[in-house]
Amino acid sequence: MRTHQAAALLATAALLALAGCAGEPEADAKPTPAATVATTPAGPGATEAAGIPPAPTGDKRVIYLATLTGIDPEIVNGKEDTAISRGRDQCTAMKDEKDPTKRIAQVEQRFIGPNHPNGFGPTKSALILATVQANICPTY
């Protein structure tokens, strides 16, 4: 019972974080000039310029991995870097895909596990998508 409660709590936290990120940007937030984002293809920020968000660090990383584990422990399955890489790849794929149904289908193909070779189903995939958006690419 505790596992289900923890999973529900973590999923709720992810959805609330996503909802909190969906608001308007603050009035005093300043956009980063394009010249400072990336100066060369291999320079700092090159991945962001290519549409690949940076990997979460610190608390964001911990929350991302804990939330995925709360949805289903097999999503991370001890492979934290793989879970982060899949999340970043999902962000890149959905940057141009705005249809929520297609985004969930992408997650089902991308996030797989030993006992879930065809993904984790639409409900868990929607939670995974919310977690990715909240912690890796909230502006997508």
Q: Residue written as tokens 């030993």?
A: 114
pTM higher than 0.85 for the full model? no
Higher pLDDT, 63 or 37: 63
Rounded to a whole number of angstroms, the CA Rg of the chain reads 16
Tell me the two tokens of residue 54: 């940076």
Per-residue model confidence as pLDDT tens digits over 82-104: 999 999 999 999 888 899 999 99
Report domain extents, the chain. 2-19+53-135
The span from the CA of 44 to the CA of 110, in Å, is 27
Per-residue burial over 19-47, b if 16 or more Cβ lie within 10 Å, else e, is eeeeeeeeeeeeeeeeeeebeeeeeeeee
Higher pLDDT, 133 or 3: 133
Q: Which of 57, 48, 60 is nearest to 133 (CA)?
A: 60
Query: What was the pLDDT predicted at 47?
Result: 53
